[in-house]
Amino acid sequence: MTVDPVLAWAFGGIGVFAWTIAGLLARKPLRMLRAGGRAKGTVESSEARQVSGKSGTRTYYLPTVSFTTAKGERITFKSSSGGAVEPAKGSTLDVVYDPANPQDAEVGGFRLWIFPIALIVLSSPFLFVGIAGLL
């Protein structure tokens, strides 16, 4: 199979660009995991956000979570990621944070990785077609 070199470079460029963005999005979760702060947090409340799209309006809930650091400091933060299901007040969530800056915290688990993983999965075919076309 022969691929036009211009098309191969375009596909490869899209793939490299998307993988670079995925790497940038993964920096914060990696930094917090390396810092090593982990705790169990409690959902204090949640904020509903309406997101409009082609398929209509959807509601996402961003939880406000409180936790106690290893030093005994009580921290409350609003998560930057949410879900379609409102978390129950008082429910427990895993929290990762930077012990040097405990205000820099986020709900742990798969939510930390959803956007970098999605970008890598969606852009991999572009990258592979670009590489195969140039070989």
Q: Domains of the chain: which residue ranges? A: 5-134
Q: Which of 110, 100, 50 is nearest to 75 (CA)?
A: 100
pLDDT at 84: 86
Check whether 3 has a pLDDT greater than 80.
no
pLDDT at 1: 59
Please give the average per-residue pLDDT across 83-101, as a whole number.
Answer: 91
pLDDT at 56: 87
Instruction: Give 38-85 pLDDT, tens digit per residue.
Output: 999 999 999 999 888 888 888 989 999 999 999 999 999 999 888 888
Give the whole-angstrom CA distance, residue 36 versus residue 97: 7
